[in-house]
Structure 1
Amino acid sequence: MKKLPVLLMAFLCVIFSASATTTNSSYEPENTFIGSWTIDVVGGGVSWLKVHEKQGVLDAELLWIGGSVLPVSDVYLVDENTLIVTRTSEVELKTTSGKERTHTRTWTMRITKRNDAIAGTMTGPTWEAVGENISFFTGTRMPAIGAAPDLSTLKYGKPIKLFNGKNLDGWRTIDPNSPNGFKVVNGTMQNDPVQPENGEHIYYGNLRTDQEFEDFNLKLEVNVPKRNNSGVYLKGIYEIQVVDSYGLELDSHYMGALYSRVTPSVHAEKPAGEWQSLDITLVDRHVTVILNGKKIIDNAPAEGPTGGAISSDVFAPGPIYLQGDHGNVAYRNIVLTPIIKK
């Protein structure tokens, strides 16, 4: 387990000691956890939690670092400053005889709140099912997302060409220690995360711009080979999915979707191996996506970070980043136009 920063440790001690009171079963505390929370996991990773009531029953959705936004198994108040959230999933594990069997695993979040800040732990079995893993986190309440902006009134700055077609100047891997699978081939930025025939899996890095941006319009072209997958992250927070999903049902995990959050309204994909255009506008935490000339997401709210986000601050400037750890993909003609705020 990684050593906690001094300030985080002090915060945890204060709020946990403040919450260590005897619970009266007849006591009905006021639920001040209702709303959305962004979460920073100690050691790296961004998460998100939304707590709400549905027909008088407390419920929640959770994004834990990667993957999708999922409903939780259970959520309940211990007292007005302590919330318990459990998440259960089924995994395939090999028995000692080598056979696979389905195993149910449960992770438990214990969250303590102080004003609009939270801290806590996520506890559960390790992936190897040997021992226990404990992650520490802090978080803050997210302000309401607000009404959709009027896109007709937007004012734009000077377009910025993010890729010069010659080299990767202006780009770098998010983790400098990760290998980079991107290279420039015939004026395109191609990712080829080659894996060894024998040996350990290589985890390739994601590529980000040196520059950081606030709200903007982003245009690019992308070519996805069959059964391959990538993603374009806006401000390093919101993933627009890039994947070969031609001919499949509409889904929030397919081409052009705001990953696991907003499903495209219509099909607009082209077959694998063809160049496709993406025209994306991010303004006031709302996203519009035009895929191959068809509007598939229309000024939809981005409720929170998507899996793989590198920042929990939805109001701060951030980079464009391209997933490099999934599969083969090529990009070209990447142009960002900033939106000028009054």
Structure 2
Amino acid sequence: MQRLALSLLLVAGSLPAASPFVGRWDFNITTPGGNRASWLGIQEKNGALEVWFQPTGGNVFKLDEVSQKGNHLTLTVGKATQKGPATTWDLEAAGDKLTGTMKRGETTTALNGVRAPELKRPMPKAWTKPEPLFNGKDLTGWEPIGKPSDSHWVVKDGYLVNEDHGANLKSTRSFDDFKLHFEVNCPDHANSGFYLRGRYELQLESEAVSHNPPERRIGSIYGRIAPEGDLPRKTDVWDSFDVTLVGRTVTVVRNGVTTINAKEIEGITGGALDANEGEPGPFYIQGDHTGGLKFRNITVAVPKR
């Protein structure tokens, strides 16, 4: 028995230690334009690090240029082009934090990342009665993000309408776990999104099917989770969405059909207000892509206590 125990210890001691960078990491980045949120998902595969990067805008993607030396990691997150130099991240690992710098040419920005919370929670046993978040009369409970003068959000005929490309709109209240319902009418060639906790975009669009891959089409968690099934795509009609988010587990029902069934959202999506995944957050609707979208019957229920 003692020899067996010694053998097991020797085998365990010979195994390479896991990289200190493995895991999911949330970054709040301070820039001259305000706070920006980013994310890294890192795992070991075939003796090397596989790194997925969520920039502050756009979709998550796998990085090609990754170099680790001990507790130091260098990433090329944006390749050099005719318009400018490459963007690199240099990071040091220490426990549950990553610190370092982002460099692009002569510009250097501080980076501070923390391990993303697991957010594993059981489904609530009961929910409150849904309450309206939009009263159909005015913008009470909602406010533009950024300059109010850039906002084109109005209430017309009882609908919440974004008349033109402009400011995003967020709820004044924040939520943790919830059941959300809303109905949306998209004109042709529209592109928008309804953000959950201000960090996870439920994509809304009426572009040509060939314009976006499945994980960036209507009803997706943008760049993260593609909807299942092939529901008809029609413009200038009302689509209903029922979204349940508990921790990281999301279920999406579109027009009565479950298109995402209890899937895990790995991390934030582009356009997130912040990377504080363990905290409640507001809903927000994109208004900076296209105008013309209309919303109605926006309601929310929360776990009953």
Same fold (TM over 0.5): yes
How many angstroms does 1:108 deviate by? Answer: 0.8
Correspondent of 1:137 among 107, 111, 127? 111
Q: Distance in 2 between matches of 1:322 and 1:64?
A: 19
Partner of 2:56: 65
Does residue 76 in structure 1 map to residue 67 in structure 2? yes
Partner of 1:317: 280
Partner of 2:191: 229
Q: How does 1:77-96 map to 2 (within 5 A)?
A: 77-80=68-71, 82-89=72-79
Alignment CA distance shift 1:269-1:41 (3 Å): farther
Does residue 120 in structure 1 map to residue 100 in structure 2? yes
Partner of 2:174: 212
Correspondent of 2:20 among 8, 14, 32? 32
How many angstroms does 1:78 deviate by? Answer: 2.3
RMSD of aligned alpha carbons: 2.2
Query: Which letter does structure 2 place at the counterpart of 1:266?
Result: G
Q: Distance in 1 between matches of 2:152 and 2:108?
A: 32
Query: Which letter does structure 1 place at the counterpart of 2:296?
Result: R
Alignment CA distance shift 1:334-1:74 (3 Å): same
Query: Which letter does structure 1 place at the counterpart of 2:91?
Result: I
Correspondent of 2:219 among 239, 246, 256? 256
Instruction: Calculate percent identity across the aligned residue pairs.
Output: 33
Q: Distance in 1 between matches of 2:213 and 2:54?
A: 21
How many angstroms does 1:40 deviate by? Answer: 0.6
Correspondent of 2:295 among 326, 331, 334? 331
Query: Which letter does structure 2 place at the counterpart of 1:304?
Result: G
Residues 199, 268 of structure 2: 8 Å contact kept: yes
Partner of 2:46: 55
Residues 250, 267 of structure 1: 8 Å contact kept: no
Q: Distance in 2 between matches of 1:113 and 1:287?
A: 31
Q: Distance in 2 between matches of 1:340 and 1:36?
A: 31
Q: Distance in 2 between matches of 1:178 and 1:69?
A: 31
User: Where in structure 2 are there 5+ consecutive unaligned residues?
Assistant: 1-15
Query: Which letter does structure 2 place at the counterpart of 1:110?
Result: D
Query: Which letter does structure 1 place at the counterpart of 2:290?
Result: G
Partner of 1:108: 88
Worse-superposed segment, 132-141 or 84-93: 84-93
SS of 1:252 mapped into structure 2:
helix
How many angstroms does 1:256 deviate by? Answer: 0.4
Query: Which letter does structure 2 place at the counterpart of 1:61?
Result: W
Q: Distance in 2 between matches of 1:319 and 1:229?
A: 20
User: Where in structure 1 are there 5+ consecutive unaligned residues?
Assistant: 1-27, 94-102, 126-131, 195-203
TM-score by length of 1: 0.78
How many angstroms does 1:279 deviate by? Answer: 0.7
SS of 2:215 mapped into structure 1:
coil
Partner of 1:161: 132
Does residue 189 in structure 1 map to residue 163 in structure 2? no
How many angstroms does 1:269 deviate by? Answer: 4.3
- The Cα offsets for residues 121-171 of structure 1, whole Å up to 9 and x where unpaired, read as 11124xxxxxx332222110123454x855xx6310132200011100110
Q: Distance in 2 between matches of 1:191 and 1:111?
A: 41
How many angstroms does 1:289 deviate by? Answer: 0.6
Query: Which letter does structure 1 place at the counterpart of 2:108?
Result: I
Of structures 1 and 2, the one with the larger relative CO (CA 8 A, separation 6+) is 2
Q: Distance in 2 between matches of 1:42 and 1:331?
A: 33
TM-score by length of 2: 0.86
Query: Which letter does structure 2 place at the counterpart of 1:262?
Result: I
Alignment CA distance shift 1:74-1:299 (3 Å): same
Residues 203, 217 of structure 2: 8 Å contact kept: yes
Partner of 1:13: none
Partner of 1:25: none
Partner of 1:201: none
Alignment CA distance shift 1:145-1:55 (3 Å): farther
Partner of 2:4: none
Residues 169, 286 of structure 2: 8 Å contact kept: yes
